[in-house]
C-alpha cells in the first residue's frame, strides 16, 4: 500500500473513549537468540525496532501514588527499517475525545538517508552521518525520544542515538543488558552506564514484569505489562516505576498497526508527506560543518556549526555544493510530484 500523504496524517483523529484494538501483524515471528517462545521472541524483537509499525498512537500518563495526574502526553509514529516519523498530539478543543496535531510543534523523521524536522516556519534536513548534535537532532529529540521509549516498552536504553539499531538491547533468554547515556563528562566524553536486568513470564509465556537494579548511580526500576486477549506478545500498555522516585509512568497503545508502508517512491518518510504545500517555509540543509538555506532557489550559507553539542562526527570535511543541490532538488521534486497529483 502506498503511504497516503499530508491529508491522512494531519487530519486523522482517534476517539480515546473507544480506541480501536491494537492490530497485530500476521507475520510469524522469528525467534530471537535465546528466546524460549514465540511471544517472548516478538517482544524482544519489538524493543529492538525489528518489528515494523505502520502507525501507532500512544498515550502517556505520569501520576503520583495517590492517582493525581502530573502530566499527560499523546503522540503517533510510524517505524520501519531505516525510516520513521513521529508527531505529538493533543485532545481537540471542541471534542476532547479526538486527537489532533499539537499546535506550534515539530514533526520529526528520517528518510533512508536524511534526518529532518518540520515546524510552522522551517524545514531542517541533515544527512544521517552528520546529523548527531545538529538542529534536526536537537529539536526532534522531544518527539523522537517518546517514540523510542514506546518501542523500548519501558526498558532503559540510549536515547541519544538516532537509530534503535545503534542502541540495541542484548538478550540472553530472559536476561537483558542495555546501555544508558548519561550526558557529557567534564572532559567532553560521553558517559554511559551498562544495566543488567531480567524478565519474568506469566502463565501464558508473556513478559509480565521486567526489572533492573541500580548501577553506578542510575536508578533501578521495574516495568509491568498489560495485554489484550488476542496478543501475540506486544503489550497494550505498560507502567514504569523507579526506585528513586514515587511517580509512575503509564504508556498505552491507543492503536497499534504492525507492518510496512510502501515508501520506495519517496525513499522513506520524507517532509513532503507531512508538509502543507501551500504554506511557505524556510528550508535549511545541514552539512558536516555548515548549514545552507534554500532562499529564492539559491543555497545561502548560514556559516554556523552543525554540531553544537553532544556526540557526533568531528566538524571536518569538504562541503560539496553539488550534493547540497541534489538534496534540495530531491525535496522540491517530491513536493512538485505530490502537488501535481493533488491537482
Write down the domain spans for the chain: 6-258, 280-342
Give tens-digit pLDDT for 92-143: 999 999 999 998 899 999 999 999 999 988 999 999 988 888 888 988 999 9
- Please check the confidence at residue 15 and state whether its pLDDT lies above 50: no
Are residues 198 and 207 in contact, defined by beta-carbon separation less than 8 angstroms?
A: no
pLDDT of residue 2: 25
Query: With the CA atoms of 23, 29, 34 and 39 taken in that order, what torsion angle do they form, in degrees rounded to the nearest 10?
Result: 40
Distance CA 1, CA 231 (A): 24
What 3 state SS string does 254-318 have?
Answer: EEEEECCCECCCCCECCHHHCCCCCCCCEEEEECCCCEEEEECCEEEECCCCCCCCCCCCCCCCC
Q: What is the mean pLDDT of the chain?
A: 79
Mean pLDDT of 163-178: 93
CATH code for the part of the protein at 6-258: 2.50.20
Query: What is the value of pTM for the model shown?
Result: 0.76
pLDDT, tens only, 29-77: 444 555 568 999 999 999 999 999 999 999 999 999 999 999 999 999 9
Which residue would you say has higher pLDDT here, 261 or 28?
Answer: 261
Q: What pLDDT sits at residue 39?
A: 93
Amino acid at each position: 500500500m502506498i503511504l497516503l500523504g499530508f491529508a491522512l496524517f494531519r487530519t486523522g483523529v482517534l476517539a480515546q473513549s473507544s480506541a480501536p484494538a491494537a492490530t497485530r501483524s500476521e507475520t510469524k515471528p522469528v525467534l530471537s537468540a535465546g528466546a524460549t517462545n514465540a511471544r517472548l521472541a516478538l517482544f524482544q524483537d519489538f524493543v529492538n525496532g525489528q518489528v515494523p509499525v505502520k502507525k501507532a498512537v500512544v498515550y502517556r500518563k505520569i501520576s503520583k501514588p495517590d492517582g493525581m495526574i502530573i502530566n499527560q502526553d499523546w503522540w503517533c509514529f510510524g517505524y520501519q527499517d531505516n525510516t520513521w516519523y513521529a508527531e505529538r498530539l493533543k485532545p481537540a478543543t471542541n471534542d476532547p475525545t479526538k486527537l489532533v496535531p499539537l499546535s506550534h510543534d515539530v514533526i520529526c523523521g528520517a528518510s533512508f538517508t536524511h534526518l529532518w524536522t518540520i515546524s510552522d516556519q522551517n524545514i531542517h534536513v541533515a544527512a544521517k552521518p552528520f546529523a548527531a548534535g545538529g538542529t534536526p537532532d536537537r529539536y526532534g529529540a522531544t518527539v523522537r525520544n517518546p517514540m523510542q521509549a514506546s518501542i523500548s516498552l519501558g526498558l532503559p536504553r540510549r536515547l541519544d542515538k538516532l537509530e534503535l539499531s545503534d542502541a540495541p538491547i542484548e538478550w540472553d533468554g530472559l536476561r537483558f543488558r542495555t546501555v544508558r547515556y548519561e550526558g557529557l563528562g567534564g572532559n567532553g566524553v560521553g558517559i554511559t552506564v551498562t544495566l543488567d536486568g531480567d524478565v519474568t513470564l506469566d502463565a501464558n509465556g508473556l513478559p509480565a514484569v521486567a526489572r533492573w537494579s541500580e548501577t553506578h548511580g542510575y536508578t533501578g526500576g521495574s516495568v509491568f505489562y498489560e495485554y489484550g486477549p488476542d496478543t501475540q506478545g506486544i503489550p497494550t500498555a505498560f507502567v514504569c516505576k523507579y526506585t528513586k522516585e514515587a511517580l509512575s509512568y503509564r504508556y498505552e497503545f491507543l492503536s497499534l498497526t504492525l507492518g510496512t508502508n510502501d515508501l520506495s517512491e519517496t525513499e522513506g518518510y520524507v517532509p513532503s508527506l507531512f508538509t502543507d504545500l501551500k504554506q511557505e517555509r524556510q528550508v535549511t540543509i545541514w552539512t558536516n560543518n555548515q548549514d545552507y538555506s534554500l532562499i529564492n532557489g539559491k543555497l545561502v550559507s548560514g556559516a554556523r556549526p552543525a554540531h553544537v553539542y553532544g556526540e557526533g562526527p568531528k566538524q571536518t570535511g569538504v562541503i560539496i555544493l553539488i550534493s547540497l543541490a541534489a538534496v534540495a532538488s530531491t525535496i522540491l521534486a517530491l513536493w512538485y510530484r505530490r502537488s501535481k497529483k493533488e491537482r
